[in-house]
């Protein structure tokens, strides 16, 4: 899948960030694709660092940087006026510019015009102008895994990336398939599934994960939740288009309500498993639950391990916190999963 291919190496732009959460996009890229990250660039007032060499766009270009990645996630997804000079310097130095913000780079006239004059690419990865098909539900060769969840922001991207890393370490043929802006920056390509017109969501996922070798795994980054009133449509389109052989359900124990909806409680884990399997089996009758990933960051170590053990016994599949415990048990389950 070549959609929105971003050329490495990157210079990660941190703006004037003073809160580590503000640079979570850049941090994700640096954590999961360190080989693609040449350095970081913060403006005066920036107090956070990713531990990468600090350098200007001009200096980074001399060292071979190809893309200036805006690594911030700010309120409203805006492009600050204070960033424009840095973006222009990157363009003048020979780099493309990539952004996952809501405001398009192409909507800033001076940036758009400079890029056009210099022949540089502006990659607004939260958007897609691709012609996408409607879904067909036709079987495809190769194997696919989709992460799903009880809610938004429960670890679906992290779990999918951890699985890719662990599977490759065992010599398995596996690729992370990004469906969100941070994931696309990490992978260098993908489709922003929440920006796709609803009729084409399942077709977009089919295009993202086409026919492949029989032993190849496409690991698809999940979005939203079937139970979230705001985003369930995206989650359902992903389930149908993925035709997943394997599902991993992600959950944060103790979360009081659905994200941004205090009037909606989280669904039961068992209810979530049953619903996702039912809809996944619409396009792949053999879809199976292979693991549960818990975000136990609010729990002590002993309590977290006990909860994962109890959950594994209750549902009969591997259960782990990918950050604390890794995902080896889930990978073992994938290795033994029969071919459909």
**Domain map (residue ranges) of the chain:** 10-124, 143-335
Residue 23 has pLDDT above 60, yes or no: yes
Least confident of 63-77, 107-121, 258-272: 63-77
pLDDT band at 75 (very low <50, low <70, confident <90, very high): low
Q: Quick one: 143-335 is in which CATH superfamily?
A: P-loop containing nucleotide triphosphate hydrolases (3.40.50.300)
Percent of the chain with pLDDT over 90: 92
The pLDDT of residue 199: 96
Instruction: Compute the mean pLDDT over every residue in the chain, rounded to the nearest whole number.
Output: 95
Note whether 10-124 and 143-335 share their fold.
yes
- Give the distance from CA 230 to its chain's centroid: 19
pLDDT band at 1 (very low <50, low <70, confident <90, very high): very low
Continuous H helices in 33-122: 57-62, 84-92, 109-118
Percent of the chain with pLDDT over 70: 98
- As a whole number, mean pLDDT of residues 202-219 equals 97
The pLDDT of residue 78: 87
The pLDDT of residue 293: 98
Residue 111 has pLDDT above 80, yes or no: yes
The pLDDT of residue 5: 87
Burial of 36 (0-12, 13-18, 19+ CB in 10 A): buried
pLDDT digits (tens, 9 = 90+) for 191-200: 999 889 999 9
pLDDT digits (tens, 9 = 90+) for 124-148: 998 888 899 999 999 999 999 999 9
Q: Length of the chain, please? A: 340
CA separation for the pair 157, 131 (Å, rounded): 25
Burial of 285 (0-12, 13-18, 19+ CB in 10 A): exposed
257 DSSP 8-state letter: S
pLDDT band at 4 (very low <50, low <70, confident <90, very high): low
- As a whole number, mean pLDDT of residues 204-210 equals 97
CA separation for the pair 277, 74 (Å, rounded): 35
- As a whole number, mean pLDDT of residues 89-111 equals 96
pLDDT digits (tens, 9 = 90+) for 168-184: 999 999 999 999 999 99
Q: Are 160 and 220 in contact (CB under 8 A)?
A: yes
- As a whole number, mean pLDDT of residues 85-105 equals 96
Residue 109 has pLDDT above 80, yes or no: yes
* Pairing status of strand 96-99 against strand 122-124: parallel
pLDDT band at 339 (very low <50, low <70, confident <90, very high): confident
Architecture category of domain 10-124 in CATH: 3-Layer(aba) Sandwich (3.40)
Residue 2 has pLDDT above 70, yes or no: no
Instruction: Tell the residue number behind the tokens 């060499």, with chain if given.
Output: 53
């Amino acid at each position: 899948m070549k959609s929105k291919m971003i050329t490495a190496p990157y210079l990660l732009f941190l703006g004037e960030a003073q809160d580590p959460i503000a640079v979570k996009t850049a941090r994700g890229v640096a954590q999961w694709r360190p080989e693609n990250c040449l350095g970081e660039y913060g403006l005066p007032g920036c107090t956070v660092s990713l531990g990468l060499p600090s350098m200007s766009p001009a200096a980074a270009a001399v060292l071979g940087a190809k893309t200036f990645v805006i690594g911030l996630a700010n309120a409203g997804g805006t492009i600050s006026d204070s960033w424009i000079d840095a973006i222009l310097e990157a363009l003048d130095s020979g780099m493309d510019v990539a952004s996952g913000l809501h405001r398009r780079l192409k909507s800033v006239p001076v940036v758009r015009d400079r890029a056009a004059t210099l022949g540089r690419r502006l990659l607004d990865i939260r958007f897609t102008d691709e012609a996408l098909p409607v879904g067909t539900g036709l079987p495809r060769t190769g194997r696919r895994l989709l992460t799903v969840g009880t809610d938004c922001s429960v670890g679906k991207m992290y779990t999918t990336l951890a699985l890719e890393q662990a599977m490759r370490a065992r010599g398995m043929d596996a690729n992370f398939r990004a469906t969100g802006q941070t994931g696309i920056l990490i992978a260098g390509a993908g489709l922003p599934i929440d920006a796709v017109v609803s009729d084409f969501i399942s077709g977009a996922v089919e295009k993202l994960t086409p026919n492949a070798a029989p032993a190849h795994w496409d690991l698809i980054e999940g979005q939203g939740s079937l139970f979230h009133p705001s985003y369930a449509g995206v989650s359902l389109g992903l389930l149908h288009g993925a035709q997943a052989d394997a599902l991993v359900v992600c959950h944060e124990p103790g979360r009081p309500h659905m994200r941004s909806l205090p009037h909606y409680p989280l669904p039961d884990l068992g209810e979530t498993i049953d619903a996702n399997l039912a809809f996944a089996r619409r396009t792949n009758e053999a879809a199976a639950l292979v693991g549960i990933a818990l975000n136990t960051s609010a729990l002590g170590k002993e309590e977290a391990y006990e909860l994962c053990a109890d959950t594994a016994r209750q549902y009969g599949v591997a259960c782990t916190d990918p950050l604390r415990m890794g995902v080896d048990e889930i990978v073992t389950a994938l290795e033994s999963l029969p071919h459909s």
